[in-house]
Amino acid sequence: MAQLFPKWANNVPKRLLLALNLLLLAVIFGFWYYGSPKHTQVGYAPSQPIDFSHRLHASELGIDCQYCHTSVWESARASIPSTETCMTCHSQIATDSEKLELLWDSWNNDRPIEWVHIHKLAGFAYFNHSAHVNVGIGCATCHGRVDRMEVVMQTQPLSMGWCLDCHNNPDPYIRPVSEVTNMAWEPDDNHYQFAQMIISKKSINPPIYCNACHR
């Protein structure tokens, strides 16, 4: 009887097995790298209706974060400033700038500006700004050096694992409450002792149970 398969067929199962394993590794790597919020979320920097520069306002002009994001100490949301907030200055400054046409349009027609939401959390995840800033988590810890951004970009993945990294071990991220809006703050050499002191003094105990965030 003639042979059903040529001689090279002997190698097919081994090669197939090898190829399958490589494929499996590639799929795992693909999900691990390209599926991670570190890849899908970080770097999101949509263009806004008005070319507002955080670098100019926060860094060069030295306006504090809370001047515009007013409710951050009291409320779950830091709040996006209203047109009126902008107009406290811009009714006097750069009134004829082309960039501000939309702002005047909004002011005159009583129609809010539709800023693009950047730092999005899923609807089923509860987050409270006031709970974080009042124990000394700085703006820059989660939002990055906004004072250096012409266009605001998301710098952290905002994934559940990323939240838990800090909730499990808040030490490295704690700063004096007075420094919360200081973009340039750096920890001291004895930061660990300081953090331990703050944590025990304020009895900070970040929750890691499910319904802390999934209420």
Closest CB to other proteins among residues 10, 200: 10
Closest CB to other proteins among residues 94, 208: 208
CB of 106 to other proteins, least distance (A): 38
Closest CB to other proteins among residues 28, 94: 28
CB of 10 to other proteins, least distance (A): 7
- What CA–CA distance (Å, rounded) separates 78 from 103? 21
Radius of gyration of the chain (CA): 25
CB of 186 to other proteins, least distance (A): 28
CB of 130 to other proteins, least distance (A): 25
Binding site for other proteins (CB under 8 A): 1, 4-5, 10, 13, 32, 36-38, 157, 159-162, 164-165
Closest CB to other proteins among residues 28, 93: 28
Closest CB to other proteins among residues 32, 192: 32
CB of 84 to other proteins, least distance (A): 39
Inter-CA distances, 151 with 35, 98, 195, 200, Å = 25, 18, 32, 38
Q: In this structure, what token pair is assigned to residue 160?
A: 């559940």
